[in-house]
Amino acid sequence: MPTYLTIDLGGTKIATGFVTLDDVGGTPVVEDLRTIPTEAARGGDDILRRLAALAADRVRERDGLAGVGIGSAGVVADGTIIAATDLIPRWTGQRVADALAEATGLGVGMVNDVVAHGLGEAHHGAGRGHACILSIGVGTGIGGALIEDGHPVTGAHAVAGHIGHIAHGLGRGVRCSCGTDCGHIEPVASGTGLAALYNLMKDDATPAVAGGKDVSELAAGGDAFAAEVIARSARALGEALGGAVNLLDPDVVVVSGSVAESGALWWDALRAGFADSAMALTRAIPLLPGELGGAAPLIGAAVAAAQVIGEHACPQHPSIASI
């Protein structure tokens, strides 16, 4: 059974681990997890240098590795970051897969971090057994991935799946991470967006909150206004998801991330908005919580590496890099 060094690189932390994939479809084994801070403010060149050194060190810890898999923040094409937000300064243009291949001497499979999450859930989590999966990650931001027949569909410009940037009226006038204020769903329905919406809706006498976790804690403590904000935010996201399934018609939608752990209030509002927005033939598409938690992007990175390095590479999908 092949074992891969896997990496999940985000704006806050870089997680690494060894993932063993069962050739006959059993549950992957994730071992020896380690995390270091990304220290994004130091910029892309510094991050890539430290990432390559980390990968080289980790490869020396384990004999017989089949390759390296990485899911990274940013838009990924051919192992290179072709676009990124200011969350990681000067990350655009970094040739990540090349650097890792040189540092480790191994083949590298690289995808966007949310695509990695979707691959994990599609192959070994809540989407397993379905041909077409729309995977949504609702955390600090909102990302998505469309996985069809086990492979990511990345689109002509490698941005397919960016569901956080679907238009919704609730977001109009609220600045999105992509730079627009025309009304995207992410700035009012992500974890960061939940806090922004609370602060926009509150009266002058109500203290501002610092993050979405604060809103969830207030609601859990019985605060009616916080509960209203969560319900309104989740309903809007559900309406956006309804529009997405009307366009894409997947077999199932898998919803993961820290905000998706907000409980029944959030899920009930999400499903209500979805039911109102989805067409009659798509309304029955199930919205399922993810099953793999934080292991999903590491498992998905291993799947990406296996698809590149093995005989079943899928060259028509440019976000998977062959080395």
In the predicted structure, residue 130 carries a pLDDT above the cut 90: yes
Average pLDDT rounded to a whole number, residues 95-112: 96
Res 71: pLDDT? 97
In the predicted structure, residue 111 carries a pLDDT above the cut 60: yes
Question: Going by DSSP bridges, is the β-strand pair 75-77/80-83 parallel, antiparallel, or unpaired?
Answer: antiparallel
270: part of which helix (H) or strand (E)? helix 264-277
Res 24: pLDDT? 66
Point out which residues pair with 80 in neighbouring strands.
77
Average pLDDT rounded to a whole number, residues 87-98: 95
Average pLDDT rounded to a whole number, residues 38-52: 96
Res 322: pLDDT? 39
* Residue 223, both tokens: 């605060």
Cβ 255 vs Cβ 245: under 8 Å: no
Q: CA angle, corner 167, sides to 280 and 262, nearest 5?
A: 75
CA 28/CA 3 separation, integer angstroms = 10
Q: Which of 20-34, 187-201, 231-245, 306-320 has the lowest mean pLDDT?
A: 306-320
Helix (H, G, I), strand (E, B) or coil at 38: coil
Q: pLDDT grade, residue 277 (50/70/90)?
A: very high
CA 15/CA 120 separation, integer angstroms = 15
Average pLDDT rounded to a whole number, residues 55-75: 96
Structural domains in the chain plus CATH codes: 3-120+294-309 (3.30.420.40), 128-290 (3.30.420.40)
299: part of which helix (H) or strand (E)? helix 296-309
Average pLDDT rounded to a whole number, residues 118-136: 96
Alpha helices per DSSP H over 92-174? 96-104, 113-124
Helix (H, G, I), strand (E, B) or coil at 144: strand
Res 311: pLDDT? 43
